[in-house]
Amino acid sequence: MSGLSVIHAPARPVTLADRYELAEGRVLLSGVQALVRLLLDQHRADTRAGLRSATLVSGYQGSPLGGFDKEVARLGPLAAAHHLVHRPAVNEELGATAVWGSQLAGTLPRPRYDGVLGVWYGKSPGVDRSADAIRHGNLLGTDPRGGVLALVGDDPACKSSTVPGASEELLAALHVPVLAPGSVQEALDLGRHAIACSRVSGLWAALKVVTAVADASATAVVGLDRVQPRMPLLEWEGAPYVHRPTGHLLAPQSVELERTLTPRLELAKQYARLNGLNAVTHDAPGARLGVVVHGSARHELHAALTALGFGEAMPAPLRLLEVGMLFPLDDEAVRDFAAGLDEIVVVEEKGPFLERLVKEALYGGRATPPVIGKRDERGAPLLAAHGTLDADAIARALGARLLARAERDRAADTGRG
């Protein structure tokens, strides 16, 4: 164009170090590398907030997180600069015990740090064998300036395990909040939320990382301001509840700690609500069918809807709730989502876990539409409870529901005519 010139900004050299060192922008990460980047970003956020924090990482290797310990070990001087200490354990329960102890650092005389973030890693069989250590550590609780993040590698397709992995049932029984990322970006973002949730609730928080997320590679947007946690306040027995572990785990202290699980789980639930971790991402006008989904099944669901012909030109005639925190499930969010619906389909691998929680949230409320998932309203199989869910299986199940609904609507219109 005459009289105009185009000015090109100088290209910034791209290096492999960007994945961990670039302050803001877009980087290429694997799912495992995103978990390592998460720990560095948390320390950077703490430093910016004026908090002197350190990180203790301990656990036991195993696919799909088999490369996590190696990535941490490769940090070298970067780990030292971020006060990150990695101590691989002989087994998962010893790692959990070490992480449990990290929350008592603030009780020591003249502590070097304001708080220590404890990070445990292991695959789903490691959760099984570490249940006692996790139960004790979670009951004792977390330091509000430290927190505990449990990185749980679930292998739902049994690609590298002797049994298929799904840890949310056991983690919920241990009163551990469970967050489920479905992508590399969500591993970064929900990981930051998990740490903040642990600090405010006094509970360990688990990040359920399935094989499809751990093994993925994708570009992700990084920067400390991507996640800005909003901390809930809960009045309990006349004062705002703040959990401070003391290290006493014998009766009567242990009985009192059990009693505090009530406000702590409520704080975790309120954290999810305040930070929009469970969000309605699609709501067609007049929608009567609701779909609830979490984790990597979200992407299979979107692929299924595309296969059914829905998209920008023809949006799907449904309301969609995407769940980031599985447990404790925000019952208010579920009840708001269900208002005006006459049927809800829960799409999840394994289970039914989320399906039961959705039913429990709606029971006795104003809106109680039928909730189906693994089986339909007649008890016939709908979505498999074994293996993994792919887009084809979801498309067949949802397509049948949508087709039946369209036929009922046409019959009703004919009757009125």
In the numeric block, the tokens 């969609």 are attached to 320
pLDDT at residue number 2? 47
Q: CA-CA distance, 392 to 402, in Å (whole number)?
A: 15
In the numeric block, the tokens 């991402």 are attached to 281
Helix axes 131-140, 92-102, angle to 10 degrees: 10
232 φ/ψ angles, rounded to the nearest 5 degrees: -75, 160
Helix axes 331-338, 354-362, angle to 10 degrees: 70
Q: Residue 160 is encoded by which pair of tokens?
A: 């590298």
109 φ/ψ angles, rounded to the nearest 5 degrees: -70, 135
pLDDT at residue number 3? 52
pLDDT at residue number 299? 92
Q: From first to last of the 417 residues of the chain, give the pLDDT tens digit.
A: 445 555 555 566 778 889 999 999 999 999 999 999 999 999 999 999 999 999 999 999 888 998 999 999 999 999 999 999 999 999 999 999 999 999 999 898 999 999 999 999 999 999 999 999 999 999 999 999 999 999 999 998 888 888 888 999 999 999 999 999 999 999 999 999 999 999 999 999 999 999 999 999 999 999 999 999 999 999 999 999 999 998 888 889 999 999 999 999 999 999 999 999 999 999 999 999 999 999 999 999 999 999 999 988 889 999 999 999 999 999 999 999 999 999 999 999 999 999 999 999 999 988 899 999 999 999 999 999 998 899 999 999 999 989 888 777 776 666 655
pLDDT at residue number 411? 65
Identity of the residue numbered 273: R
Identify whether the C-beta of residue 144 lies closer than 8 Å to the C-beta of residue 202: yes
pLDDT at residue number 158? 86
Our measurement of the distance from residue 363's CA atom to the centroid of its chain's CA atoms, rounded to an integer in Å, reads 25
Q: CA 218 → CA 62, 126, 221, 389, distances in Å? A: 22, 27, 10, 21
The angle formed by the CA atoms of residues 208, 171 and 300, to the nearest 5 degrees, is: 35
